[in-house]
Amino acid sequence: MELRQLQYFVKVARKEHVTQAAEELHVAQSAVSRQIHQLEEELGVPLFVQKGRNLQLTSVGKLFLGRAEAILTELERAVMEVREFLDPEAGEIRIGFPHSLGIYLLPTVVAGFRQTHPNVKFRLRQGTYNSLIRDVVNGELDLAFISPFPERHEHVTGELLLQEELYAIVPEGHVLAEYQTIRLEQLKDDSFVMFSEEYSLRNIVLEACAKAGFVPRIGFEGEETDTIRGLVAAGVGVSLLPEMALTEISQLQPAKVRVIDPLVTRSIGLIQRKGEKLPLVAEVFHSFLMNFFDPYKK
């Protein structure tokens, strides 16, 4: 069994398509098909079945995928450790983050770290709450910023970094646009622009509205803070967004109003896989983050 066979198998399993896998691997489709066929012959079982134009893993294929991914992850980790041993300042940090932290927080901490570690590389992955935890557990990420911070989890551990306030955003012509503070119930008759169901900010907003005594009427849904902010600015509804998501100035700018009843916040934390030592360069970055966020904890 060759390493290339495992790499090709994992790529085809993820794409569910030989042609797309071959394109990402920058090899001929025939080469991918040949390696998969040889792997199946060596194992003595089919790993895929044809389903329409796509390939679907067999039950044995699903079992083998988990092991193959673990092998490739450990191999990648070993290569990184060797490189870090030769030159810790030339290592790579794999870090995940939700979109709402990619506007201000992530660029700020990366830029700050690179001032003293200019040769360190970052491999960044944006994701939802569940996908970030999954990628940390699977070893595909060293660290991940996450919100809300999971106080208890079977497979990940970490630190709470800060609590961030959410603000109401309304169109410039809205009756509450000039207010300094509002009660959330004052928006109960408005149409809300909400995050999709897989995003944790949606639940935070729904819970806040429940505390205020109403169920929001959802007019539009989006997957990024920029989209939601733009739709509100265009006059299609109102919403609640984290303060950091409102730092960027754009042509379509909603009015930002503080909500004092109830006060709406979200927790932001940093997670890593439980019971596993971080790579050296990631450990250095972790220490940097702890010092960076220390003032927010006081």
pLDDT at 255 over 90: yes
Which residue do the tokens 């290339």 mark? 4
Q: Which amino acid is at 111?
A: A
Same domain, 139 and 276: yes
Residue 231: CB atoms within 10 Å: 22
Domain's final residue, options 39, 54, 78: 78
Give residue-wise pLDDT tens across range 158-204: 999 999 999 999 999 999 999 999 999 999 999 999 999 889 999 99
What single DSSP character describes residue 186? G
Looking at the structure, tell me whether residues 14 and 62 fall in a common domain: yes
Mean pLDDT, residues 59-76 taken together: 88
Q: What is the Cα–Cα distance from 77 to 74, expressed in whole angstroms? A: 5
Q: How many domains does the chain have?
A: 3
Rounded CA gap, 168 and 80, in Å?
Answer: 44
What secondary structure letter does DSSP report for 171?
-
Residues 213, 98 share a domain: no
ω into residue 242 within 30 of 0, thus cis?
Answer: no
102/125 same-domain check: yes
Nearest CA among 92, 74, 79, 83 for reference residue 285: 92
Structure tokens at 114: 């690179």
Rounded Cα distance between 37 and 265, Å, is 53
Q: Which of 78, 99, 122 is the last residue of a domain?
A: 78
Nearest 5°: the CA angle 24, 30, 34 is 105
Say whether both 112 and 199 belong to one domain: no
Q: Read off the pLDDT band of 84 (50, 70, 90).
A: low
In which band, very low, low, confident or very high, does the pLDDT at 103 lie, cut at 50, 70 and 90? confident
Nearest to 159 by CA among 290, 273, 277: 290
Q: State the pLDDT at residue 85.
A: 63
The CATH code of the domain that includes 130 is: 3.40.190.10
Tokens of 102: 């990619």
For 10-66, what is each residue's pLDDT tens digit?
Answer: 998 888 888 888 888 889 989 988 989 999 999 999 998 888 888 889 999 899 998
> Which has the higher per-residue pLDDT, 295 or 239?
239
Give the pTM: 0.71
**Mean pLDDT to the nearest integer, 101-126:** 92
Distance CA 157, CA 49 (A): 38
Whether residue 23 is found in the same domain as residue 37 = yes
Q: Tell me: pLDDT of 70 over 70.
A: yes
Radius of gyration of the chain (CA): 23
Mean pLDDT in residue range 82-108: 83
Whether 121 and 51 share a structural domain = no
The answer to whether 153 and 147 have CB atoms below 8 angstroms apart is no
Same domain, 247 and 169: yes
How many Å apart are CA 41 and CA 61, to the nearest integer? 13
Strand 217-222 relative to strand 191-195: parallel, antiparallel, unpaired? Answer: parallel
Q: How far is CA 271 from the centre of its chain?
A: 12
Q: What is the pLDDT of residues 118-142, one digit of tens each?
A: 989 999 999 999 999 999 998 899 9
- Give the CA dihedral 209, 213, 218, 224, nearest 10 degrees: 0
Same domain, 105 and 126: yes
Q: How confident is the model at residue 277 (pLDDT cuts 50, 70, 90)?
A: confident
The pLDDT value given to residue 285: 94
Residues 64, 92, single domain; the answer is no
pLDDT score for 86: 60
Give the residue numbers spanning the domain of 49. 3-78
Is 90 exceeded by the pLDDT of residue 250?
no
CATH of the domain at 232: 3.40.190.290
Distance CA 285, CA 279 (A): 10
Tokens of 184: 């959330």
Element (H, E) at 69: helix 59-86
| H or E element at residue 64 | helix 59-86
Mean pLDDT over 265-279 rounds to 93
